[in-house]
Structure 1
Amino acid sequence: MPGMGASSRIFEKIDLPKDQFEFHYLEWLIPYSNETLSNYTTRIQEEIKHENPVLIGVSFGGIIVQELAKKISTKKTIIISSVRSHTEFPKRMKWAQKLLLYKFFPTRWVNQIETILKKHGNEKAKRRIDLYSNYMSIRDSSYLDWAFKNILNWKEPHPNPNVIHIHGDKDEVFPIQYIKNAIVIKGGTHAMILMRYRWFNKHLPTIISNKNYE
């Protein structure tokens, strides 16, 4: 399951042995008005056709697969650049939740901000926007409003010890100092599923196949 608004193309460089693994990609759906996270994940669940799968989710997709794992039996649940509990949110996200700031985030401006940055930003900003644009599949403001609200309001007080967490020590969205008991990738950012794909290609087969991974 990709991150918020992203398509499954974020996994395009993940190449695992085909004699051992078969990929099935989940995509975001447009949420119904005031749809609960539980109901939304039930609709995502309908796209899972195999029994006892390994679920892998990135960022908000990591929250989604953890909710899915409450509904179906899984061989393993793996989250990347995500959190296992709302207690791992950085302080700014906790304040945003308390102050209901997600209600005021101008998600309908996302496309306009992107256009401005591409026109007037520096080369580094333009490259990041091009990368972002290539992998984003949903820009619908109702989806973005719903996603921000449900990320900030996700309540999971106790991290599930059975969830395998892979996290970068340079993650800008979920800083490493708030993360507990993760497999840490040095230099990994929030976009490391794209930038550090060689690490995942090397280590994911062992993480998936073995009960314990050090």
Structure 2
Amino acid sequence: MNVYFISGLGADKRVFSQLRIDSRFTVHHIEWISPERNETLSQYAHRLAAQVDTTQPFQLVGLSFGGVMASELADIIHPDQIIIISSTPVGIPVSAFYRGLLHFLLLSPFSAPILKSSNRMTYKYFGANTPELKALLKTILHDTDSHFLKWALKRMSSWERRQKVPGVFHIHGTSDRLIAPRLVQPDVWIEDGGHLMIYDEAAEISGILNRQLSTRLH
């Protein structure tokens, strides 16, 4: 079965590099495309859907903002299952850090070069607490398109979905600082998992993913 992975805010498949997915699944990575002016999440999802082969059974795995997009895609292409990680199945109040970052990004003409630098605050909120995670986050921030990031932050902060898509399976960390644990009710908690637990807790998450993906094998 095909499984399509969708990364977080402008990140790429590097964030999934530590996962070990069962060979029964063919892994694909959906690539972010540049958003059009004033494009909604639904409109963007319609364009992103072109990367998915809907003639074969498939599942979606979305990380952070990728989880939001997975829910939007599900309205269009109807996967067998959605698994979201460090994300939310419905619109929720965002953290103070997220609100501050969004305000800065939308108002400051100097935001792009500052955004592409990592610092103690971004390390803290993303849960980058090891040299390897800090290096990964620094590279991701550097490579992220600032236009896409501004658009995605604005859309995620105003996401109005009230009912979660049927068949969503949610994995979340108890120490996530970007999407506070008190705001979500996941199916599985990862003890002490931060927002980047997909990387540093990859062994545990791989086991959960393989078991859950297997529930939809035909």
TM-score (norm 1): 0.82
- Gap change, CA 1:136 and 1:7, over 3 Å in 2: farther
Tell whether the 8 Å contact from 2:170 to 2:188 is kept in structure 1 after alignment: yes
Equivalent pairs, count: 199
- Gap change, CA 1:178 and 1:130, over 3 Å in 2: same
In the other structure, the counterpart of 1:21 is 25
- Gap change, CA 1:107 and 1:82, over 3 Å in 2: farther
TM-score (norm 2): 0.80
Structure exhibiting the larger radius of gyration computed from Cα positions: 1
Mean Cα deviation higher: 129-138 or 43-52? 129-138
Q: Any stretches of 5+ residues in structure 1 without a counterpart? A: none
- Gap change, CA 1:171 and 1:59, over 3 Å in 2: same
Tell whether the 8 Å contact from 1:59 to 1:79 is kept in structure 2 after alignment: yes
Alignment of 1:108-187 (within 5 A): 108=112, 109-111=114-116, 113-114=117-118, 117=119, 128-136=133-141, 138-187=143-192
In the other structure, the counterpart of 1:35 is 39
Tell whether the 8 Å contact from 1:53 to 1:75 is kept in structure 2 after alignment: yes
Task: Give the distance between the partners of 1:60 and 1:15, measured in 2 at CA.
Answer: 22
Task: Give the distance between the partners of 2:78 and 2:131, measured in 1 at CA.
Answer: 43
Question: Would you say 1:44 and 2:65 are equivalent positions?
Answer: no
Cα RMSD for the two superposed structures: 2.7
In the other structure, the counterpart of 2:12 is 7
Q: Please list the CA deviations of residues 54-106 of structure 1 after superposition, one character each: whole Å capped at 9, or x if unmatched.
A: 1000000000011000101211001000011113x346389x49xx8363366
Q: Please list the CA deviations of residues 139-168 of structure 1 after superposition, one character each: whole Å capped at 9, or x if unmatched.
A: 322111111111111111123352111000
In the other structure, the counterpart of 2:107 is 104
- Gap change, CA 1:137 and 1:47, over 3 Å in 2: farther
Tell whether the 8 Å contact from 1:170 to 1:186 is kept in structure 2 after alignment: yes
